[in-house]
Amino acid sequence: MLVFFLCSCRNKTVILLTKKWDCLQVENIVPPDAKGLTKKDSANAEQAKALLLNLNWTFKDRMKYECALNDQLTVKGKYELQGNDKLLICTPESGNSINRYIIKSLTTDELVLAGNAENTNVVLHFKPH
């Protein structure tokens, strides 16, 4: 019975996640405790935020994902869920870098991810495409 319960929870998370998501809001691109940012640093942060607002992720069957900017495919790979499905780990096909995100919210209408590791302050809000 316990195994069935654990599998059904996993299935629910995967089912909710499996779709195309568009980024609609970015928070804390510059860490709140950052002091003495130069104009160039501020401009770079705004440019990064603008790029992220054109981001969409598609989570597919068999734990695969695609990431696109302005609907131009940039990364494909596999994802996994850990920590009671609260930690999303995305590994690109290239294997260059593994990205970890904390799932703050996941419903049929909303996905909120917080960065985990060096980008812990960044919060990304997504809506279904």
pLDDT in tens, the chain (129 residues): 444 444 445 589 999 999 999 999 999 887 655 666 677 777 777 888 888 899 999 999 899 999 999 989 999 999 999 999 999 999 999 988 899 999 999 999 999 999 865 556 789 999 999
CA-nearest of 18, 32, 26, 14 to 125 is: 26
The CATH number given to whatever domain includes residue 85 is 2.40.128.280
63-68 contact pairs (CB < 8 A, 24+)? 63/14, 65/90
For the four alpha carbons of 68, 100, 111 and 45, in that order, the dihedral sign comes to negative
Whether pTM > 0.85 for this model: the answer is no
When divided into structural domains, the chain yields a total of: 1
Structural domain including 19 reads: 2-128
Rounded Cα distance between 127 and 23, Å, is 7
